[in-house]
Amino acid sequence: MSITFLIPIYNEVKTVREAIDETLKIEIPQKEIIIIDNNSSDGTKKILEEYKNNKNVKIIYQTKNLGFGNSVQDGFNNSSNDFIYIQYGDLEYDINKSIEMMRIIKDKNLDVVFASRLKNINSFKEILKELIKKPSYLATILCTFLINKFYEKKFTDIIGTKLYRRKTIQPIIPKTSGQGFDFELVSLICKNRLRAEEVFINYVPRKNSRDKKIKFYHMFNAIYAILKIKIKKEKL
């Protein structure tokens, strides 16, 4: 089984080298790393040039910032491997979890494995504590609630990193390039009744990472994306 580690980046000069090096250390025989640079302007490209001769690394430079969704689309289009793991350039998610996620997706014949930051939280009191510490989790909790309500699921976090089975996910990849992409894709996975499970993942916010957290106004875009897929009629 082969895997592509897809790393979409934009202005990650402080963390991109570590992200690539830590991913290269992952002990999976058939692997490649595809880096989609969203026209970074902070010196990220200079660091990426250090890896241009590495046979396991493929770098795609975009001429303008086309958004996270477009990066994922490019990654899928440039990969022929069995699985695609989304790895963020700031390494806030534990990359070593990808090994366990690979085992689960193969053993259980799944289409996607979600890495949840909240799976081990079992009470409303604990959720409230997390919201106080990380107000941005409000969007996570609300959007996850909508997905669960609409599709009768029991997910805890639909926003974390993911491992996809390429052949079943690629046909439903949405065209959206902005904030709504991830929410549309999760909605389509549920709407098409694809097989999905969650695992807990350690999440460590980086103080020196560029601020990419979901802002309050992004939450409305996310809700719109989820509702759009829910009410969209099936093609006859």
- pLDDT for position 61: 95
The model's confidence at residue 31, banded by pLDDT at 50, 70 and 90, is very high
Largest alpha-carbon pair distance within the chain? 51
Which 3 state secondary structure label does DSSP give 36? strand
Q: What is the mean pLDDT of the chain?
A: 88
Q: In order of start, what are the domains of the chain with their CATH numbers?
A: 3-231 (3.90.550.10)
Which 3 state secondary structure label does DSSP give 206? coil
Distance between CA atoms of residues 5 and 35, nearest Å = 8
- pLDDT for position 34: 97
Taking only the tens place, the pLDDT of each residue in 48-68 is 999 999 999 999 999 888 888
Distance between CA atoms of residues 123 and 117, nearest Å = 14
Say if strands 57-61 and 83-86 run parallel, antiparallel, or are unpaired: unpaired
- pLDDT for position 53: 94
- 72 with 48: CB under 8 angstroms? no
The model's confidence at residue 29, banded by pLDDT at 50, 70 and 90, is confident
Name the nearest CA neighbour of 140 among 150, 126, 130: 130
Q: Is residue 70 predicted with pLDDT exceeding 70?
A: yes
The residue with greater pLDDT, 4 or 159, is 4
Taking only the tens place, the pLDDT of each residue in 142-151 is 899 999 999 9
The model's confidence at residue 140, banded by pLDDT at 50, 70 and 90, is confident
The model's confidence at residue 185, banded by pLDDT at 50, 70 and 90, is very high
User: What mean pLDDT is predicted for residues 106-117?
Assistant: 96
The model's confidence at residue 1, banded by pLDDT at 50, 70 and 90, is confident
Q: Can you tell me which residue has the tokens 């996620």?
A: 101
- pLDDT for position 236: 35
- pLDDT for position 138: 80
User: What mean pLDDT is predicted for residues 2-13?
Assistant: 94
Distance between CA atoms of residues 30 and 97, nearest Å = 17
Q: Is residue 218 predicted with pLDDT exceeding 60?
A: yes
Task: Give DSSP secondary structure letters for 156-188.
Answer: S-SSS-EEEEHHHHGGG--S--STTHHHHHHHH
User: What mean pLDDT is predicted for residues 9-16?
Assistant: 92
